[in-house]
Structure 1
Amino acid sequence: MTGKITLRLLEGFRAVMQAKTVTAAALVLNVSQPVVTRLIRDLEENIGFSLFVREQGRLKPTAEALILYEEVQRSLISVDRILQSVEMLRDGHQGYLQIAAAPALALSFLPKMMAGFSAQYPGARLTLHMHGSETSLNMVLSGMCDIAVVMLSMRQSGTYGERILSGRMVCVLPVGHRLTQQATVGPWDLRGETFLSHPHVLDTRLQIDALFAAHGIQREMRLESQISYSLIELVAAGAGVALVDPLTATLYRGDGVVFVPFDPIVVNHYSVVTSSERPPSVLQERFIEQLKKSLYDTLAPEYRVVGG
């Protein structure tokens, strides 16, 4: 019957087998020679047979030691991998994140941000899901995703997540439009224009409708899209004018449109949501930290709303 075989005893045995001498093994383990000698002696006592014989001042492994070494090597390689995984998890370099995001964030901003994050943390696996803000929020609350990056109203942001940044909506005009030279565009400027809009399910649509109604402005509305990028492309195609979120306006690289700040200010709040049921992993914390910095650095300063 064998005694207790500890990981440390096996590490000492492996070091002697690989280094060939007690002196060299002690250097590998960063211990003294007597410590290595005691590890081998304790292991032999626990397993009940000799592992080495001394010939001409050198340790020669027995046949049993050679067989045991193969098993020990396989086992310790697995342990080494576990320890490496532990270290990577502790430092946030390994793990799996599922991220749900609103189209305004998932189409342009997040791919670049995630590519940079993946290069910094190559052991991490990231999955991006694109849904509306409400759906993305519910995916986190139901445990289907780890992080939601969304555009929520002030009330929702305070309840479910952390508001990262706020920005003002931007009017999109075709090149050559009569309003492109103005510093801002207001509801009264858009009287008689064909207006391209987000659908009613979005909170910003309700704000915009209320604003135009308050000014007694009726709009000719023919086309709708949930996605700001699509609205911009419709404007470029000559279908009308639109109001879009500031991040999409900042990142748009196409031709044929001009962006002008809208006044009165209609605010978009960019928020990050995580589960309140479980603590965030180190990887989640690293991701959110980089997300905040990237979003602030990306959004055009003229569109930011301080304290919005």
Structure 2
Amino acid sequence: MLNMDFNDLDLRQLDAFSAVMSAGSITGAARLLGRSQPATTRLIQDLEESLGYPLFHRNGPRISPTEQGVLFFEEVERLLVSLKHIRERAGAIGRGEARPFEVAATPALSIGLVPDALAAMGGTTLPRLLHIQSLSAENVVQTLLARAADFGIASLPVEHPGLDVHWIGEAPCVAAVASDSELATQDTIRIADLAGACIITMANPYRLRRRVNEAIAQAGVTPLRVIDTNASLTALSLARAGLGVAIVEPASACGLLPEGLVLKPLDVHIPFLFGTVSPAAKPLSSTLIAFNDALREVAARRLPGFRLHEAGKREALADAVYGADDAAPTAAKGRPIR
């Protein structure tokens, strides 16, 4: 039961709590804060008394967060980051500078598209301060809904009435194989050739993994084993080590291909769908409009087989996400970008 009066919220206590969570000890937190250990201990004790529940298990000098402490840390972290950004924005206003902005993107898109899009905008267009968060697609959505970010790039589905979708991109997934593999000599990797092999792919069953599973099932393939992961770069590294063939989205693969790997097209179209989004009814600044345009141009240039889907209507988004689910993963939809 939360007993805390938020009118008396003490930021020193929250800073101390965040420092303990980061450092893993009172001593380490005191060092980070430039305070004495007893003063830091007192701040944590006062915070726990205000909340009405313990934030840490204590075993002599050792501490570990309680379940409530872990959950509370998520809220405190968001609050402290928001306060930091408010201070930054207040300073930018006072200096007459362009407003800092926050971008939330999935790891693949933050690696594969965001850096080149920012570079294409030029230094004079960008604000002095900007923040890039690398999050799961679900957390990108939640961060935008909480207005903790100004703009997002995420894999589909991202349908939510609280979000505006600006455009949807589609590009075929690729196969990544070690450069010394026999498959590296083939022009195209056939799904049928992966029978008895190890397939490396993504873990989330509600996004790319679902389409990979469909392609494997329709080809009647039984792999030797499947290794799944929540990060494309991990899948690429596993493939480079010779552990199998990685079937991954093309953004991170084309954006940051590790040495010792080669990319090959697949003989079936497994679509990777992603889009740019922002909080609904919040007009984009001129800087974010330029960033959105740059992302689209970089995607068209960098991703082989890129297709653009206009997303001015919610129905268009639904069609792009679900339209091919009951069909064989072959023909792509949308209009090509030249």
Q: Answer yes or no: is the 8 Å Cα contact 2:111–2:251 preserved in 1.
A: no
Aligned pair in 2 of structure 1 residues 162, 303: CA closer, same or farther (>3 Å)?
closer
**Counterpart in 2 of 1:261?**
265
1:182 and 2:186 are equivalent in the alignment = yes
The alpha-carbon distance between structure 1 residues 269 and 215, as it changes in their structure 2 partners (threshold 3 A), is same
Change (3 A) 1:149 1:241: same
How much has 1:296 moved relative to structure 2? 2.0
Aligned runs of 1:113-192 on 2, under 5 Å? 113-117=117-121, 119-153=123-157, 156=159, 161-192=165-196
Pairwise CA distance, 1:207: 1.1
Structure 2, unpaired ranges of 5+: 1-91, 308-331
Change in 2 beyond 3 A, CA 1:239/1:287: same
Identity rate, percent? 21
Matching residue within 204, 210, 216 for 1:212: 216
After superposition, residues 56-135 of structure 1 pair within 5 angstroms as 85=96, 94-117=98-121, 119-135=123-139
What is the identity, as a one-letter code, of the residue corresponding to 1:143? R
TM-score relative to the length of structure 2: 0.58
Partner of 1:284: 288
**1:249-295 Cα deviation digits (max 9, x unpaired):** 22234222221111210111231001113222222212212222222
Tell me how far apart the structure 2 counterparts of residues 177 and 157 of structure 1 sit (CA, whole Å). 43
Q: Residue 104 of structure 1: CA displacement?
A: 0.5
Q: 1:232 — aligned with what?
A: 236
Instruction: Tell me the distance in 1 between the aligned counterparts of 2:275 and 2:287.
Output: 18
| Residue identity opposite 1:127 in structure 2 | H
Alignment partner of 1:213: what SS? helix
2:152, 2:277 within 8 Å by CA — same for their partners in 1? yes
Q: 1:120 is paired with a residue of what secondary structure?
A: coil
**What is the correspondence of 1:287-298 to structure 2 with a 5 Å cutoff?**
287-298=291-302
CA distance in 2, matches of 1:259, 1:83: 49
Distance across 2 between alignment mates of 1:162 and 1:107:
20
Cross-structure match for 1:43: none
What corresponds to 1:307 in structure 2? 334
SS of 2:272's equivalent in the other structure is strand
Change in CA separation of 1:286 and 1:213 when aligned onto 2, cut-off 3 Å: same
Structure 1 residue matching 2:239: 3-state secondary structure: helix
SS, match of residue 161 in structure 1: strand
Asked if 1 retains the 8 angstrom alpha-carbon contact of 2:116 and 2:298, the reply is no
| Unmatched 5+ stretches in structure 1 | 1-80, 89-93
Match of 1:245 in 2: 249
Deviations 1:90-114 (A, max 9, x none): xxxx112110001101134323433
SS in 1 for 2:233: helix
Counterpart in the other structure of 1:22: none
SS at match of 1:167: strand
* 8 A contact 1:172–1:258 mirrored in 2: yes
Q: CA deviation at 1:164?
A: 4.1
1:296 alignment partner AA: A
Is the alpha carbon distance of 1:95 and 1:234 closer, same or farther for their aligned partners in structure 2, counting shifts above 3 Å? same
C-alpha distance 137-83 of structure 1, shift in aligned 2 (>3 A): closer
Q: Tell me, in whole angstroms, the C-alpha distance in 1 between the residues paired with 2:168 and 2:229.
A: 25
Q: Give the CA deviation at 1:229.
A: 1.5
- Taking the aligned partners of 1:122 and 1:215, their CA distance within structure 2 comes to 47
Q: How many residue pairs align between the two structures?
A: 219
Q: Distance in 2 between matches of 1:302 and 1:293?
A: 13
Tell whether the 8 Å contact from 2:103 to 2:149 is kept in structure 1 after alignment: yes
